[in-house]
Structure 1
């Protein structure tokens, strides 16, 4: 039983006794317990997970148990290690039970009529919801479908609890005279009527949490302490980009012309924390925690691919990306563990998930308030803030590298990643190494690509099959380079060929050991199909396995991780050469038969189209995609066919249409009065391509393509609203 519980249920004092603690003493102890737990838990964000666990074991309150659960959860989720996941589940269950007892006690002992923001025991309800959310994530990542279903049940309970806390906050603030933000009056408010099973998050005034606060007096900001208001993200006179001098966030994209319609303004945050309202440490913990938890949920659910999101909507879950992001920005303003996790979620979203997408608002539109794009200045400010709070953490340096990579500065990103190789947290080291492996692939450094992916096998067991496969792809490129070199070195050719064969053959033997919702990981299915295809082709053509490979598998991986979006012209030209049929090593007749395979042609042309698009050759890209779209759909059906190529070609056509929307110089001469009609037709064209992919039957990599499609559909929705083409 918790230490706090012991305080509350202490024996009744005898008359005349002076040893009984007063209510003020009890509250002081309670706050000290909460603050100690938060301070120790925050050490995780400074790469000191061992120090966090040591401090948290000194207490047994629900807050300490939650901190221990977070420590184990972070170890498990960053490393995808099954044993640690089980330990995390057990700790979180213990935390949930302890918090439930304290919640009931707080409700029984509450004094009626108290003027408080949240109902009695809300801090424990938040702890329970936190534990349930982490348990749900672990359950969904578990290999058992039964466990995953239990996870969805916990997710539902967490949704309901968080919604109740937010409704209480909204009711209190409205009672104090605060009102909904005017920026949401034109239909901007979240419309997630099915966001929770209870239907409470419906975007109406009764549940709208996007409230307008007055800015806190700057004189109150002071220095950072774990539970105090941290002030605005960018209050310094020096721009955050300058503070991160090694980062270059200059935009290279062009804007679209101003529309005849006025774009809908978008609030950059759900609320500005008011130190006069959220000054109590418990209230700060609840407010920042609810925004972090609920924001993360809404964001993650909004990223689910269309096919899976339809299933989730049936059982009452629907994401709301805009509201989720706003809530995370709100939480990130607080200097505590909740704010740090919210900041990490935001940076992971913008530097990670959003980097897979192509159909986004332009940088200029984002500066004007457009939702859905990459707010460079704001993310840079957040990174400065997190680096200053947690200077010893490799997580934030890792995010700096991803900012550079997304700005097409891959070489600079590699320098940071190489300097950030070792962390006190092995899970952070694993993340850093995986990113370094990807960037090495994007810059065509095949030796580093091979070595970094092989090191991934040592650092975590997420997907050894994929790691060996991509390492084999690197060796295959080395083999092809040696094979086509003007100075033939037979020993070098043999060495790379043998190593490529060894790595590629090993990959499928490890596939299927990790599962998601009782199914094999999509990339491992992809790897197994590839190797089966090459082995069958090798036997049919009478050539060695590595000579039976067609389209550069390294370039396929680059396309699937959207690496072309991060490349400069030099790297794109190297990709263009790597995709040439001349790179094949099979003999003349065997090469001819490989080139004749429909899905092989399609995969190559889709990858080439992405390269041509990034080089600015849109007509060439469209011509390549037209050749794929003309292919018979039935030719892509089969146990070893590359079934991703055709839906990917449809998605690429949507990207080309969107580029024309955003770049006025590509439109040709258009009368001003016809411009709106032209824009409407192009946006509808983009939408139609996305709709086709969203409704596509299941294929191996539908989740990976689906994430890009979902982001594109959100962007189209924003654009249409801004032009008055949809109902408010």
Structure 2
């Protein structure tokens, strides 16, 4: 029976109960549970694109849980829109929430009903969650002082959350529950059938909990808590049917995939599900799902920062753990509440954002088999289906569906979905949807749509108008070049696109610098300013028009920097290669010769082209281009307007090329056709070890590179690659080699 079905559905009135000190302990507990239920039910409207409705309901309560819900509403608006006024409002609300939670924690009864966590833990979680959100807003804020305060809050939240997880682990150990720490194993998926049934039935119906078939895993279990459990009590003995024991005494799955869910992995992980014996108390569910969500976000966030910054964080006590963070987020998604929904949203941001941006990742097969650092496409699709069922009115989940299509190399499908997803109740979601549409039209070379969509971004969002104007101008520039080189020239169209391109590109630097990150200019705005200044100086020096002074296609350069290449089909890649030819230039022959002679200009073209060739499988050509870039004297990249990212990007590309060869040992050159099976296997192992070491060496070199404008963007790719290599070495016994 689903003990939590009633309170998850939100059957209590929209009131906040404030019992008198003389009230019975039972009344106090009932009041707290009613507040949890009401606040979380109201807050869940956020995930259905109804922030206004959530705020209206939450304002009717005065508990710490309602205060947290109000903080979440403003936080979501602030991180989705990056608007300074909303960030300030979010900071104020979250500070108020911290104060309320701290006071409530101090007043919490010593004989708390929770069996698992210390008294007042629910308020400690609210305090930590408010600190975490407040820290994220502070770091995104323009002020360095606010950012420093944010890091202090992060540290306090980290300590609180770590303490909650340790308390949980100690309780479970005391109850005879062995903590599982399998490296490549995620908690089971949320039960779609149960969630849907729970939502469709009456307010207080006592529902049977319907188990959905789950993918079974026979991976081994390790020694520390990673989010799923194995019970060792007498009761668990009854659950061991269907298991076998191998020669080492380890429990293994007896049946094949799809058999009855009584395997060790499936059964043990279900012990921490929403219908488990461990969670009979709504307070415990609130703390468990919330702590996994918050600590998972924190561990994942710290693990994603670029290498140089992550070393600094480790010195002051922050240590990220990508694998544990991802597992904790998946564990939180098992619970049908706002915590699970936020955890799901973060997972999609991670998979469709960061991993969609990275290149050095486990294969899809490895990811589906449990490689935590990989992209489990099928599992993400199942989670998305769950969220769409639970929040059918939300356009946020449709946006993630489109991003998933794009990452599956179906950009036209993503564009079609995004074009029909523009009617969100939340302006911030509409802005995100439009920005994603702008990028996708850029990838496929629909320059008119790209221009129009980036100009609409200016109307919807004020995060970086400089970047939006620049990208719209780049689209106009490509339209100008296409008209200029057309067989049947139309002078009217040529001049129209040329004038508009110059107008938009020159507009970009004039609105740069209005947004800052920790008192520093945004990297892409610095990039834009340097580019436009470079073209202005070149036009003056060569005595040509501004639009004709542009060299390598800036659109294709941005495609590379956003890694749209990873999302393209072969015909789209061939189009990108065509756009990178020098023949697209519109300057005179003499001016073109001088533009091509600029070392940093040719290096940028070679890096972009190398990435396209890699995606097309032309690895030798890609390698040759990168090596040419690295052979250039580093002084050629020094200067206020030089493209200083070209050499570290080429170094990173060589790491990616090595990783491609790790995954495809058949590409190696063999000379002995009569080699034995054992000899062939040994040769493959030696090849993979050699290429893994080569990949690691290139990544290490990029990680230690001196500062350059886009080091954070390339650094994130490097950090993901390093995480992948750590996983690969561990899985293949290369740690000690």
Q: Same fold (TM over 0.5)?
A: yes
Distance 1:95 1:83 in 2: 19
Partner of 1:102: 104
- Superposition map of 1:497-646 within 5 A: 497-646=498-647
Deviations along 1:482-520, one digit per CA (max 9) or x if unpaired, are 000001000000000000000000000111111111100
Deviations 1:420-442 (A, max 9, x none): 01210011001100000000000
Q: Per-residue deviation at 1:612?
A: 0.7
Cross-structure match for 1:151: 150
Q: CA deviation at 1:674?
A: 2.3
Question: Is the Cα–Cα contact under 8 Å of residues 465 and 527 in structure 1 kept in the other structure?
Answer: yes
Instruction: Give deviations 1:176-213, integer Å, cap 9, x for gaps.
Output: 100022635xxx89xxxxxxxxxxxxxxxxxxxx9x99
- Answering whether residue 726 of structure 2 is matched by residue 717 of structure 1, we say yes
Q: Which residue of 1 aligns with 2:128?
A: 129
Unaligned runs of 5+ in 2: 1-14, 216-252, 254-263, 672-679
Residue number in structure 1 paired with 2:70: 68
Provide the aligned length of Structure 1 versus Structure 2.
661
Partner of 2:58: 56
Q: Give deviations 1:436-481, integer Å, cap 9, x for gaps.
A: 0000000100011001111111111110000000000000000000
Judged with a 3 Å threshold, the aligned counterparts in structure 2 of structure 1 residues 126 and 268 are, in CA distance, closer, same or farther, namely: farther
TM-score normalized by the length of structure 1: 0.87
Structure-1 separation of matches of 2:683 and 2:210? 43
What residue is the counterpart of 1:32 in the other structure?
Answer: 34
Residue 183 of structure 1: SS of its match in structure 2? coil
Matches within 5 A, 1:140-219: 140-181=139-180, 183=182
Tell me how far apart the structure 2 counterparts of residues 115 and 176 of structure 1 sit (CA, whole Å).
14
Contact 1:142–1:515 (CA<8 Å) still a contact in 2? Answer: yes
Q: In structure 1, the residue corresponding to 2:198 is in which secondary structure? A: coil
Distance in 2 separating the partners of 1:141 and 1:391: 30
- State the match for 1:299 in structure 2: 300
How many Å apart are 1:8 and its aligned residue?
A: 4.4
Aligned to 2:240: none
- Report the 3-state secondary structure (helix = DSSP H, G, I; strand = E; otherwise coil) of the residue aligned with 1:7: coil
Please give the alpha-carbon distance, in whole angstroms, between the structure 2 residues aligned to 1:460 and 1:541.
37
Q: How does 1:372-521 map to 2 (within 5 A)?
A: 372-521=373-522
Q: Indicate the residue corresponding to 1:235 in structure 2.
A: 213
Offset at residue 271 of structure 1 (A): 4.9
Shift of 1:708: 0.6
In 1, the alpha carbon distance for the partners of 2:194 and 2:51 equals 34
Q: Residue 180 of structure 1 aligns to a residue in which SS?
A: strand
Distance in 2 of aligned mates of 1:37 and 1:644: 48
Residues of 1 paired with 2:337 and 2:598: CA distance?
A: 57
Shift of 1:6: 4.3
The list of structure 1 runs, each at least 4 consecutive aligned residues, that deviate by more than 3 angstroms after superposition, is 3-6, 212-216, 218-222, 224-237, 265-272
Structure 1 234/476 Cα, relative in aligned 2: closer, same or farther at 3 Å?
farther
Q: Is 2:565–2:612's contact at 8 Å kept on the other side of the alignment?
A: yes
Could you say if the C-alpha distance between residues 408 and 673 of structure 1 is closer, same or farther in structure 2, counting changes exceeding 3 Å? same
Partners of 2:435 and 2:684 in 1: how far apart? 45
Alpha-carbon distance in structure 2 between the residues aligned to 1:136 and 1:168: 24
Correspondence for 1:91 among 86, 90, 93: 93
What SS does structure 1 have at the residue aligned with 2:178?
coil
Indicate how the Cα distance of structure 1 residues 101 and 477 shifts in structure 2: closer, same or farther if over 3 A, else same: same
| Aligned counterparts of 2:69 and 2:688: Cα–Cα separation in 1 | 51
- Conserved? CA contact 1:644–1:700, under 8 Å: yes
CA distance in 1, matches of 2:681, 2:135: 53
Match status 1:282 vs 2:283: yes
Residue 247 of structure 1: aligned partner: none
- Cα deviation for residue 392 of structure 1 reads 0.4
Q: Distance in 1 between matches of 2:545 and 2:182?
A: 64
Query: How many Å separate the matches in 2 of 1:230 and 1:443?
Result: 49
Go from structure 1 to structure 2 and tell me whether the alpha carbon gap of 1:493 and 1:267 turns closer, same or farther (over 3 Å shift). farther
Computed over aligned residues only, the root mean square deviation of the Cα atoms, in angstroms, reads 2.6
Distance 1:301 1:232 in 2: 37
2-side partners of 1:182 and 1:555: how far apart?
Answer: 44
Report the counterpart of residue 194 of structure 1 in structure 2: none
Distance in 2 (alpha carbons) for counterparts of 1:120 and 1:706: 42
Check conservation: 2:457, 2:468, Cα contact below 8 A: yes
| Superposed displacement of residue 382, structure 1 | 0.3
Aligned position for 1:683? 692
Q: Write the distance in 1 (CA, Å) between the matches of 2:194 and 2:76.
A: 36
Q: Is the 8 A contact 1:410 1:566 kept in 2?
A: yes
Which range moves more in the overlay, 446-455 or 619-628? 619-628
**Residues 221-248 of structure 1: CA distance to partner in whole angstroms, max 9, x if unpaired?**
96259999998996389xxxxxxxxxxx
Name the CA distance, whole Å, in 2 between partners of 1:605 and 1:629.
11
- Superposition TM-score, scaled by structure 2 size: 0.86
Report if aligned partners of 1:89, 1:138 keep a CA contact under 8 Å in 2.
Answer: yes
Q: Deviations over 1:95-150 (max 9, x none)?
A: 111111111000xx3238x7711111111111101100111011111111111110
Work out which of the residue numbers 679, 698, 715 in structure 1 matches 2:707.
698
CA contact (8 A) 1:651 1:690 kept: yes
Instruction: Verify the 8 A CA contact 1:268 1:369 in the aligned structure 2.
Output: no
Distance 2:628 2:722 in 1: 25
Shift in alpha-carbon separation, 1:231–1:438, aligned structure 2, 3 A: farther
